[in-house]
């Protein structure tokens, strides 16, 4: 197969040529065998990755050692965020916990029809204000990700923080804007507009149409790898205040299911952010015109839902914020000039909301 052996009657040059040819054939055979083995191994790896649902990136991560590091960090985070004791029964599994679709005029809230930035010629269309939700609509949203700093773990023990509500309830105090630098705001299109036009510092996880029933699946937060739900974006122990403003999109649905999901969200947030003070925003009123024409999104229903939120806040040792009282007129409705669509606050009135938060803050000494 490698050619005839040199005979005695050949010249030295002919023998050398035959030897070189034999060597080339031998090297070629060895290379073919090595390539065959390599291709077989790679094919086996690809099949194994396909069977286990992994990607080639996982394989490279194993080879260079980053996979083990990532798994170690995941385990550390799991120990931090998941208590060892048996978790409480999920309230969302109770009978009737599925959120019903709101009734009324196509709910009127899943898309912002108008969030005016001013009166007359100064008004801006919704596309300029709320966007299409592809960027969450908030320029100040910080890149989210997992906080895997080793400092979160001290030897075999997890850092233990004093319960921020140990002396609950504390009186409200007045603060400056620096108080909100490590605050997180979670909410719907009204909060989205507040984040855009109030100038308030902080991190905003807010989006048009945000609902509690989808808090763990709705893609809200913009990250380097695309939009993700807040449950995937939340860093550990990074916020000391969390403001939640949701509920108008879920008017007309099952109130018990709504409140149960709200309590579930608060429980999860406290596991992620053990030092955070939780604030529950009351629903803002709508204009008198909107209230009289909408069977679902009217001030009678808003006031009833707010009473339930006040009770929930006390049960959860959270702080209820009655921002609507600072915005409402004498009749309890949102003044007509404040909202072009009867619901969403115009930009120039965001400062009223902001001043309310600045004068209703909890300061832990």
User: Cα(253)–Cα(233) distance, rounded to whole angstroms?
Assistant: 28
Q: Which residue has the tokens 């938060």?
A: 357
Closest CA to 222 of 212, 207, 239, 240: 207
Q: What angle do CA 236, 310, 306 make, to 5 degrees?
A: 105
Q: What share of the chain is helix, strand, coil (3-state, %, to 5)?
A: 45, 10, 45
User: Cα(118)–Cα(200) distance, rounded to whole angstroms?
Assistant: 19
pLDDT of residue 120: 40
User: What is the 8-class DSSP label of residue 170?
Assistant: P
Taking the CA atoms of 362, 179, 81 and 218 in sequence, report the sign of the dihedral they define: positive
Helix (H) or strand (E) holding 156: none
Q: What is the CATH number of domain 88-358?
A: 3.40.50.1110
By residue count, the chain amounts to 365
pLDDT of residue 104: 40
User: Cα(97)–Cα(89) distance, rounded to whole angstroms?
Assistant: 13
Peptide bond into 22 cis (omega under 30): no
Alpha helices in the chain (DSSP H): 12-52, 56-64, 66-81, 126-129, 189-197, 230-233, 255-272, 288-293, 299-315, 324-327, 350-358
User: Cα(119)–Cα(100) distance, rounded to whole angstroms?
Assistant: 36
pLDDT of residue 9: 66
Residue 164, SS3? coil
Half-sphere exposure of residue 312, counting CA atoms within 13 Å on the CB side? Answer: 27
What does each of the 365 residues of the chain score in pLDDT, given as a tens digit? 555 555 556 787 777 888 888 888 888 898 898 889 888 887 777 776 666 555 555 555 545 444 444 554 555 555 555 555 544 554 444 444 444 444 444 344 443 444 444 444 444 443 343 334 434 333 333 333 333 333 333 334 445 566 788 889 999 999 999 999 999 999 999 999 999 999 999 999 999 889 888 899 999 898 888 889 999 999 999 999 999 999 988 888 899 999 999 999 999 999 999 999 999 999 999 999 999 999 999 999 999 999 999 999 999 999 999 999 999 999 999 999 999 899 999 999 999 999 999 999 999 87
Domain residue ranges in the chain: 88-358
pLDDT of residue 19: 82
Give the CA distances from residue 327 to residues 134, 203, 254, 262, 323, in Å, rounded to whole numbers and listed in that order.
30, 24, 27, 24, 7
pLDDT of residue 166: 83
pLDDT of residue 321: 98
User: Cα(267)–Cα(251) distance, rounded to whole angstroms?
Assistant: 22
pLDDT of residue 113: 40
Give the CA distances from residue 299 to residues 52, 190, 248, 261, 348, in Å, rounded to whole numbers and listed in that order.
54, 16, 11, 23, 23
């Amino acid at each position: 197969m490698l050619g005839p052996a040199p005979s005695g009657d050949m010249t030295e040059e002919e023998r050398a040529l035959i030897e070189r040819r034999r060597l080339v054939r031998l090297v070629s055979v060895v290379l073919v065998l090595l390539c065959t083995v390599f291709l077989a191994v790679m094919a086996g790896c690809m099949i194994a990755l396909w069977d286990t649902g992994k990607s080639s990136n996982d394989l490279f991560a194993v080879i260079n050692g980053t996979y083990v590091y990532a798994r170690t960090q995941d385990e550390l985070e799991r120990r931090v965020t998941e208590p060892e004791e048996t978790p409480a029964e999920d309230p969302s599994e109770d009978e009737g916990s599925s959120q019903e679709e709101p009734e009324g005029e196509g709910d009127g809230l899943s898309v912002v029809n108008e969030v005016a930035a001013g009166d007359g010629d100064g008004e801006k269309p919704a596309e300029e204000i709320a966007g299409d939700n592809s960027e969450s609509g908030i320029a100040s949203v910080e890149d989210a990700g997992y906080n895997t700093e080793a400092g979160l773990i001290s030897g075999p023990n997890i850092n233990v923080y004093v319960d921020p509500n140990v002396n609950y309830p504390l009186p409200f105090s007045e603060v400056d804007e620096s108080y909100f630098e490590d605050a997180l705001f979670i909410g719907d299109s009204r909060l989205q507009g507040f984040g855009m036009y109030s100038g308030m510092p902080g991190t905003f996880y807010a989006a048009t149409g945000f609902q509690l029933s989808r808090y763990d699946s709705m893609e809200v937060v913009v990250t380097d790898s695309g939009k993700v739900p807040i449950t995937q974006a939340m860093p550990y122990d990074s916020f000391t205040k969390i403001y939640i403003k949701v509920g108008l999109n879920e008017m007309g649905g099952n109130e018990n299911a709504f409140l149960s999901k709200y309590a579930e969200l608060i429980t999860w947030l406290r596991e992620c952010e053990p030092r955070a003070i939780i604030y529950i925003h009351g629903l803002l009123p709508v204009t008198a015109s909107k209230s009289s024409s909408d069977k679902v999104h009217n001030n009678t229903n808003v006031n009833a839902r707010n009473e339930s939120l006040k009770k929930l806040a006390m049960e959860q040792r959270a702080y209820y914020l009655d921002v609507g009282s600072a915005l409402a007129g004498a009749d309890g409705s949102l003044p007509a000039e404040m909202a072009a669509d009867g619901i969403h606050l115009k930009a120039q009135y965001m400062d009223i909301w902001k001043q309310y938060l600045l004068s209703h803050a909890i300061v832990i000494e």
